[in-house]
Amino acid sequence: MPKIDVYDINGKKVKELELNENVFGIEPNEAVVHSVLVNFLANQRQGTQSTKTRSEVSGGGKKPWRQKGTGRARQGSIRAPQWIKGGIALGPKPRSYKYTVNKKERQLAVKSVLSSKVLENELVVVDSLPLKEIKTKEMVKALSNLKVEGKALIMLPEKNENVQKSARNIDGVKTTLVETINVYDLLKYNKLVVTEDTVKKLEEVYA
């Protein structure tokens, strides 16, 4: 079983924690991670892009000139696609890009990223985050004590207003819950900061 150091909010090592190898010690599956990531990004697309066809562009009801005898190419409407200000041929229309991925694939992708975080020393475990009030300065200090720099994702087992609101104004820092994690956020942020309770909940959900 993989082991990891547990720190307190002051950055002092308090103990060592054994991680469930079925969640934090598997062989990362890059193909599945890529597949789930593409699915997540596709599902975020609004699909609201739209162009007007020749039937939707105003004007162009009258034939611009007679069919024969002018020496020019025959034309039926000044709103045909080849005309300036004409309709768009085969342009995009509103559509949904959403599709589903197998639940086991999603879980495997999350476990793969969590395992890679452990391998690359990007997982930081704290015994707890006991913030008594909403104070950004306290959260900045805690992250500094834990030597967390750059982009960081703080994962909580359940809602904690003090932690979430203390972290929301820190540049490059985001909070999330175990029940709402996704592969995109796990990959986007360099460091993953979790509490012991978060680790337990992750093991309950994904083991």
Same-domain check for residues 192 and 109: yes
| Residue 114's CATH number | 3.40.1370.10
Query: Which range marks the domain in which residue 81 is found?
Result: 51-91
Report how many domains make up the chain: 2
pTM of the prediction?
0.83
Give 189: exposed, middle or buried? Use CB within 10 Å, 0-12, 13-18, 19+: buried
pLDDT at residue 11 greater than cutoff 90: no
pLDDT at residue 107 greater than cutoff 90: yes
- Give CA 43 to chain center in angstroms: 10
pLDDT at 41: 96
Same-domain check for residues 81 and 160: no
Buried residues in 104-125 as b, exposed as e (16+ CB within 10 A): ebbebbbbbbbbbbbeeebbbb
Same-domain check for residues 115 and 174: yes
User: pLDDT by residue (tens digit) across 160-175?
Assistant: 999 999 999 999 999 9
pLDDT at residue 1 greater than cutoff 80: no
Rounded Cα distance between 5 and 82, Å, is 67
| pLDDT over 90, % of the chain | 86
Same-domain check for residues 135 and 177: yes
pLDDT at 131: 86
Rounded Cα distance between 207 and 203, Å, is 5
User: pLDDT by residue (tens digit) across 47-80?
Assistant: 999 999 999 999 988 999 999 999 999 999 999 9
Same-domain check for residues 72 and 174: no
User: pLDDT by residue (tens digit) across 110-148?
Assistant: 999 999 999 999 999 999 888 888 999 999 999 999 999
Contacts of 206 (CB under 8 A, 6+ apart): 22, 23, 107, 110, 111, 114
E strands, the chain, in order: 3-7, 13-18, 123-126, 152-156, 173-177, 191-195
E strands, 72-141, in order: 123-126
Q: Which residue has the tokens 């994962």?
A: 155
pLDDT at 128: 87
pLDDT at 70: 95
Same-domain check for residues 119 and 185: yes
Quick one: how many helices (H) and strands (E) in the chain?
Answer: 7, 6
